[in-house]
Each structure stands twice: as C-alpha cells, then as structure tokens.
Amino acid sequence: MQSDNKNTLITILLCSVSFVIVSYLVFRTNLPKLPNLFLYNLVIIFSLHELGYYRTLFFLGASVFLSILISITTHLLYVLHIPVFFITFLIADNEIKKHNYYTLIVKTRIEEIAENINVLKDEHNKHKKEAVSLEKKGNRYNSLKDVVSVLNSTLTLEDVVKNIMDNAFNIVGKSDSGLLFLVDTSKQELNLALSVNKTHPDKIKTKKGDILDEWVFKERQALLVEDIKKDFRFSEDRFSKYERSFRSIISCPLMEGHKVIGILRLENFYPYHYTSEDLRLLGIICDIGAVSLQNSVLYKQTLDLAIRDGLTGLYLRRYFLERLKQDVLYCYRNNLSCSFLMIDIDNFKNYNDEYGHVAGDMVLKLISKVLLNFVSGGIACRYGGEEFSIFFPDVSKKDAMRIADNIRKAVKKEGIELRRIKTHITLSVGVATFPEDAKSHEELIIKADENLYKAKRGGKDRIAIL
C-alpha cells in the first residue's frame, strides 16, 4: 500500500510539473490558450486514470516535447499539432498495449509450461517409485519359488521349521524377532518350536504364546498390529510382564484344512513398520510351510511305520539291532558301561489260549506302556512275539538291575481285566552288561538271553544276571 501511494504521489507531482511547463509554453507563445489547456488537462487526467505510472511518464514527457516543438514552429503548422498529438499518442499507446499483451501471453504460457513440467516431474517420480516398488515386489514373489523347492525337499520337522523362519526373515524382512509355534493336537495348545531374536537372543520366553497368538489361534485369521499401544483389541498392560519390547507385528496361522497346526509371527521394535502387503506375503509363506509341515509329519509317520511296531509303538528288532551296534561301539570307544535287558512275559501262551489273541494284544500294549516309562535315555524294542528288550547306554550293572526290578514290580502292580476276570502279569528279565559280561553287541544279546532263561528256570517273575 505504501509503495502504491508513493507512486501515485510521484505521478501527480510529475503531472503537475508537466502541466506547469506546458502552460508556460502555451502562454509564452501566440498559440490559442484554451484549446491547449483543455487538451493537455484531458491528456494528463486520462493518463493518470487509465495508463498507470510508467505510461503516464511517457505521455507527460511526450506532451512536454510536443508542446515545446509546437511552440517554436511556425503558425502554418499550428493546425496540424492537435491531430499529430492524438495520432502519436494513440500509436504509442497501441504499441505499448500490444507489447504488454504479448508479454502477458508469453508469461502465461511460460507459467503453464513450468506447471506442466512440475506435474510431469511429479508423475515421473511417482512412476519411478512405483517401478522400484513393483521390482521389489517382483523379487520378493519370485523368491517364493525357491521357498517351494527348498521346503518340498525338506522332510525332517526341525529342518522345515528352520526353513520357514529363515524364508520369512529373508523375504518379508523388516523384523527384529520371530516366533514359530506348533500346535499340540492332543492338548490343543501352542508350543514354541523356534525363536529368533536379533538383538537379545536369550530373552524370548513366551513358550506357550501370548494374547496375540491366542487371538490368531482362536480366530484362525492373520493379524496385523501397526502399534500395540494403540490397538483397541489388545491391552498394553497385558504385555508389561514380557521382557521383549515390540510395537508392530504380523502373524499368520499355518492351516491344515480348517485346523491350525502352527503360528508364524514377526515383530519389530517400531510402530507402523509392517504393511498389508507384508502380511499377504507372510500368509503365502505360511501356506507353503503348512504343506511342508504336513509332509514332515507324514514322513515321520512313514519312518515310524518302518522302524516301530504297529501294536506296541516300540522299535522293531532290525532297527533296534542297528542302534545297539552303534551305541555299544560308542561306549567301547569312550570307555563306558552299557546294559541290555531281555524281557519275557511269563505264561503268555496261556493268555492267548484262554482269553484269545485280542487279550494277548491287550497284554502286549500294557507291557509296552510300562516300558516306555522307564526308557529315558535308552531305547526299547519288541524283540519277538512276547519278548522285549531295552538297551541303556552309560548304565552300570547295578543300575540296570534296579531299573529291571522296578519294571517287573510296575508290571505286576498293573491289573488287567480279561473277559471280566482281573489278573496280574509277571515278567522274567535277563540282564547283561558291557564290557563286564560281553565284548561285543552280539555277545551282549546272547548273555542277556541266557540270563532270561535262567530266570525262567528259577521260577519266573524274577531277574537273573551272571
């Protein structure tokens, strides 16, 4: 405002000075006074009102110049000064307007071009970011092919679990820690199968999961928590007891049909770190991983069928003898004692003859159930029809005798009802120890078998040693 007022005052001052000069020239000459005064006043007023500061300067200057020129000319040119005056002003004004008009057009066009350039730059940057994002997504999804091939070639449960976690970290990324839970189908609860924590390796203690894992387990849905402190579904106070600090997570169930068989969860210390795209990618990994988990279970079941007895669940004789050979050799190299128990059910033929083969199977299942309670650190086998054997590495003869006696007492204590008749089962056990009684695994079996028959000849329901 101050600048505009200043320009206006200057214009008025210049117009006034010009008017004085023109008037002086008019009055000093013999030219008619009133027409000139009237004309120049009109020119000054018009220029002030319409043309602005710079045009006014031009017209006033032109007025002064023409007035001086006319005042010194002869009277013959007097009649021409008025049309010359107007024509000159009109031509000058028209040229100025044309110049300003073209200048405005050029300026407007330049502004439009600059605006279009900025828009194109923004679109280019946007497309560039989209291209980088698409390339990154493409690389991530292409890597899923390797996940499929790796997991399909992995059969053991431990390797499958590790590969699932490794691929989740490598493909999804963005994670400071990860948890993989497997479901105990008998108890319908979560058990921690594998955990990874890049910053605090020893601080993951959530062995059964927390409220986030319970939610995924019950809802059977994927979960994205952008900020645990702002998510209305979960109370922050529930996490105060955990030593780990995390703000954002993604978690997906591993499904077998409509059943949850596992949960894979990734965590980050910062909020708003994961996106729905990350969750979708984790879901694909979990789908592939679920199939691999099922394959590993089937593989384990197949192995069990090959090495375990279908009735009792104990190892078959062939696999047991291979393990026995390896373990005895290990004890020999490390100067350790090991013991072998040969067990036989007393009067087993009578159970089959009197109660039938179904009753005999019930007796075999009962014996195997008791044996499994005593084989911690050892391996148990169904050696023959009604014969069982147990191998204990790094167990002396004295300890083997104690374990054998506890087995005998536990079986005798177990009551069994066959065709509404309650009865008790007794065992005869032969014990042999390496290297006291034998120098090889074959000889260890022979010695234990000899002691077994020694126990049977001694009245059964007893333990015999050399």
Q: Are residues 145 and 269 in the same domain?
A: no
| Listed ranges 70-79, 171-180, 321-330; the one with the highest mean pLDDT | 321-330
Catalytic residue status for 386: yes
pLDDT given for residue 76 in this prediction: 43
- Domain assignment present for 239: yes
Q: Are residues 347 and 433 in the same domain?
A: yes
Q: Are residues 113 and 207 in the same domain?
A: no
Q: Are residues 27 and 142 in the same domain?
A: yes
pLDDT given for residue 184 in this prediction: 87
pLDDT given for residue 188 in this prediction: 84
- Domain assignment present for 308: no
Going by the DSSP 8-state scheme, the letter that residue 314 receives in this structure is P
Q: Are residues 201 and 144 in the same domain?
A: no
Mean pLDDT, the chain, integer: 79
Longest alpha-carbon distance in the chain = 169
Who has greater pLDDT, 295 or 3?
A: 295
Who has greater pLDDT, 93 or 82?
A: 93
Say what percent of the chain tops pLDDT 90. Answer: 30
pLDDT given for residue 448 in this prediction: 95
How far is residue 134's CA from residue 136's CA, in Å, rounded to a whole number? Answer: 5
Q: Are residues 327 and 277 in the same domain?
A: no
pLDDT given for residue 84 in this prediction: 52
pLDDT given for residue 221 in this prediction: 92
Who has greater pLDDT, 453 or 68?
A: 453
- Residue 358, pLDDT > 70, answer yes
Last residue of a domain, one of 102, 132, 153: 153
CATH number at residue 349: 3.30.70.270
Using alpha carbons only, give the angle 423, 426, 430 rounded to the nearest 5 degrees. Answer: 170
- Structure confidence by residue, pLDDT tens digits, 139-151: 666 666 666 666 6
pLDDT given for residue 79 in this prediction: 43
- Residue 22, pLDDT > 90, answer no
Enter the pTM of the model.
0.56
Cis link prior to 435 (omega < 30° from 0)?
A: yes
Q: 27 pLDDT band (50/70/90 cuts)? A: low
The three-class DSSP label of residue 272 is coil
Q: Are residues 196 and 293 in the same domain?
A: yes
CA torsion through residues 68, 71, 72, 73, sign: positive
- Residue 6, pLDDT > 90, answer no
Who has greater pLDDT, 463 or 257?
A: 463
Q: Are residues 74 and 139 in the same domain?
A: yes
- Structure confidence by residue, pLDDT tens digits, 215-252: 999 999 999 998 888 877 776 666 555 555 788 999 99
| Listed ranges 67-76, 288-297, 399-408; the one with the highest mean pLDDT | 399-408
Fill in the amino acid letter for 163.
Answer: N
Secondary structure element (H or E) that encloses residue 414, with its range: none
- Over range 123-148, report the average pLDDT: 70
Q: Are residues 147 and 214 in the same domain?
A: no
Q: Are residues 73 and 221 in the same domain?
A: no
- Of 158, 322, 386, 443, which one is the catalytic site residue? 386
pLDDT given for residue 216 in this prediction: 92
User: DSSP per residue over 229-271, as a string?
Assistant: TT-TTS-GGGGTT-S---SEEEEEEEEETTEEEEEEEEEESST
Range with the poorest average pLDDT among 4-8, 12-16, 79-83, 118-122: 79-83
- Structure confidence by residue, pLDDT tens digits, 379-414: 999 998 899 999 999 899 999 999 999 999 999 998
- Over range 14-26, report the average pLDDT: 58
CATH number at residue 226: 3.30.450.40
- Structure confidence by residue, pLDDT tens digits, 298-343: 888 888 888 888 889 899 999 999 999 999 999 999 999 999 999 9
- Residue 118, pLDDT > 70, answer yes
How far is residue 441's CA from residue 344's CA, in Å, rounded to a whole number? Answer: 20
Q: Are residues 283 and 345 in the same domain?
A: no
Domain region containing 438: 317-464
Domains in the chain, number: 3
Q: Are residues 217 and 107 in the same domain?
A: no
Last residue of a domain, one of 153, 175, 198: 153
- Phi, psi for residue 47 in degrees, rounded to 5: -65, -40
- Residue 33, pLDDT > 70, answer no
315, 447, 301: which is closest to 382 by C-alpha? 315
